[in-house]
Amino acid sequence: MSITDRKLTDKNDWTFGAGRASYSTQQNAIRQNVKTRLQSFKFDWFLDEDANIDWFNILGQKNNKNTIIENVKVVTLNTDGVTSVDNIEITDEKNRNLQITVTFTTIYNTQFTEEVAINGN
């Protein structure tokens, strides 16, 4: 399985103009996909409105840590190239914002820890 995606800038915009250097491949593409999918809100993508996480409703609930963890696990495991979710931590949960740290293993037998900020405002 070969996984290739367009690289993103620090502001999550696509990169252009550098030929093949504008693309992420293999484990870097998987890592980028996990982060992008976790930051994406449900109903954002018109081709698959059920994809990703319903952050607007989840972040408005009290005692939602288990719901967040379960959703993060499902989205991460359903990302092409991810074989396992090894750890999920939720920190700085306040004012409909939170920081997620997810550790996962890829089909290349590489483990990554990715930090993802969610802004639900």
Task: Please report the pLDDT score of residue 121 as a whole number.
Answer: 67
CA distances in angstroms from 61 to 41, 56, 67, listed in the order given: 16, 9, 10
Instruction: Please say whether the beta carbons of 45 and 34 come within 8 A.
Output: no
Whether the predicted pLDDT of 102 surpasses 90: yes
23-25 vs 4-6, strand pairing mode: antiparallel
The per-residue pLDDT for range 23-78, each reduced to its tens digit, is: 565 678 788 888 888 988 887 777 776 778 888 888 877 778 899 999 999 999 99
Picking from 15-19, 46-50, 115-119, which range would have the lowest pLDDT averaged per residue?
A: 15-19
Check residues 103 and 17 and name the one with the higher pLDDT.
103
Task: Please report the pLDDT score of residue 17 as a whole number.
Answer: 55
Check residues 121 and 1 and name the one with the higher pLDDT.
121
Beta strands in the chain, from DSSP E residues, in sequence order: 4-6, 23-25, 82-94, 97-106, 111-119
Helix, strand, coil tally for the chain in percent (to 5): 30, 35, 35
Q: Give the Cα separation of 115 and 75 in Å (integer).
A: 15
Residues of the chain above pLDDT 70, percent: 73
- Mean of the per-residue pLDDT values for the chain? 80
What CATH number does domain 4-119 carry, 1.10.10.60, 3.10.450.40, 3.30.413.10, 3.40.50.1360? 3.10.450.40
DSSP state at residue 96:
T
Q: Residue 19 contacts by C-beta under 8 Å, 6 or more apart in sequence? A: none
